[in-house]
Amino acid sequence: MAGNGGGGARKPISVLFVCLGNICRSPMAEGVFRSMTKSDTRVATIDSAGTGAYHEDSPPDPRTISVLEENGENSYDHQARKIRTSDFKDFDYILAMDADNLCDLSRVQKRIVKNSGIHAALAKVMMFGDFGGCEGEEVIDPYYGARDGFTIAYEQMTRFSKGFIEQVLHGVDVATPAHAPMS
């Protein structure tokens, strides 16, 4: 699936959102993006994962769900999972919530390239915040804080999703984010 591009009709893209535990930021990003693109045939698959397996098979944090519901997202269902090697081949874009996640993802991708020699068919790994108008912007993990951190994260996810849609789906010409580890 990865490596989408070239001329003519484009295949629908797939997007994976990644944070640390996959119960706060990345499922929120998935929910927001899913809502914004639900009738868009240019998007095939949307999912989220964590770089760690701390909460595997758990539902999203209740504060994530309540913020999504507060903003009209009432049908979101998710179980946390850890990133898989196959995700780098199955998704066109893997979007990290912060620099630590980006570093972890880049390390895994480099290992895949080293072990398989395959590069062109791998996902574009980058910061989700690069689509929000401020290169390298991170989504601070709200897990240990109060509910307002989840509201701030939601506002970021909305802004970043709009930027991604504009730049990737609508084809607005922008410079390649500096954080894209593979060229």
Task: Single out the catalytic residue among 87, 98, 130, 141.
Answer: 141
Q: Which backbone phi and psi does 123 adopt, to 5 degrees?
A: -60, 155
Q: Which backbone phi and psi does 140 adopt, to 5 degrees?
A: -65, 135
**63 labelled catalytic:** no
At residue 170, the 3 state secondary structure works out as coil
- Largest distance between two CA atoms of the chain: 48
**Residue 117, token pair as written in the block:** 């020699």
Task: Single out the catalytic residue among 25, 47, 63, 87.
Answer: 25
**19 labelled catalytic:** yes
DSSP class of residue 92 equals: S
**173 labelled catalytic:** no
Residue 72 gets the label, from left (phi > 0), alpha (psi -120 to 50) or beta, of: left
Catalytic site positions: 19, 25, 141
